[in-house]
Amino acid sequence: MTTSFIYRYLPGEQAETLLLLHGTGGNENDLLEIGRAVLPGAGLLSPRGRVLENGMPRFFRRLSEGVFDVEDVKARAAELGQFVREMAVEHQFDPARVMPLGYSNGANIAAAMLLMGAARFPRAVLIRPMVPLEPESAPDLTGCEVLLARGLYDPLATAEQTARLRELLEADGATVTEHASRSSHQMVQADIEAAATWLARQ
């Protein structure tokens, strides 16, 4: 299978590659600057979601706000995992050193990839994630570190959603760190700073 996403790839000077995953209505350009800011020197791989909702790109279908098409989530997470592997061959980066940084819908597809074992990531930054699916099987996420960045006043990615996602990830062996910003669903500077600090740890 060859997957085709519209994407940007900016090579880095380091072995790490950030997989940048935009929110609903975004595109492959949205997170490039943030990617550069949080991990200077990393390569950047930034696909555009292939699902269109009223013309707005997303990474999977939803039935209504916060109600996801779980079969589509599964298929799209697998497809994105395949895309990353193909890009690693094409652009010659190490697939074992790819780390997603996703916002909102992008955080949700990254969470789905983790929970389904669609790709192995050493670290993942999920900004305003929800629970994209309740997985049927448990991948081994031992050694995987995840930052969950929530907004204290977020009506979508609520504290309960974050807590459930944390529980699922930890049950699979991941190490989870939480950060809470004084914001709603919108990403703010404090999220970017928290991600940069967290990624800079050895």
Binding site for ligand MLT (CB under 6 A): 23-24, 62, 104-105, 108, 130, 156
Q: Which is nearer to ligand MLT, 11 or 66 (CB)?
A: 66
Of 46, 154, 181, 191, which one is the catalytic site residue? 154
Q: How far is CA 99 from CA 19, 39, 119, 134, in A?
A: 6, 11, 10, 22
Residue 7 Cβ, how far from ligand MLT at the closest point, in Å?
19
Buried b (16+ CB within 10 A) or exposed e, 13-47: eeebbbbbbbbbebbbebbeebbeebbeebbbbbb
Q: Please say whether the beta carbons of 146 and 176 come within 8 A.
A: yes
Quick one: 104 or 162, whose CB is closer to ligand MLT? 104
| Torsion of Cα atoms, 52 then 42 then 123 then 125, to 10° | -50
Which backbone phi and psi does 7 adopt, to 5 degrees?
-155, 165
Is 179 known to be catalytic? no
Nearest distance in Å: CB 56, ligand MLT: 9
Assign residue 153 a region (left: φ > 0; alpha: ψ between -120 and 50; beta: otherwise): alpha
Q: Which position among 69, 179, 184, 185 bears the catalytic label? A: 185
Min separation Cβ 118 and ligand MLT, Å: 16
* 91 assigned to active site: no
Map tokens 């049927």 to a residue: 136
Among candidate residues 46, 104, 181, 183, the one labeled active-site is 104
User: Is 26 or 43 the residue whose CB approaches ligand MLT more closely?
Assistant: 26
* Residue 104 bears catalytic tag: yes
What whole-number distance in Å separates Cα of residue 33 and Cα of residue 25? Answer: 17
Nearer to ligand MLT, 43 or 129 (CB): 129
In the complex, minimum distance from the CB of residue 43 to ligand MLT, in angstroms, rounded to a whole number: 25
Report the catalytic residues.
Answer: 104, 154, 185
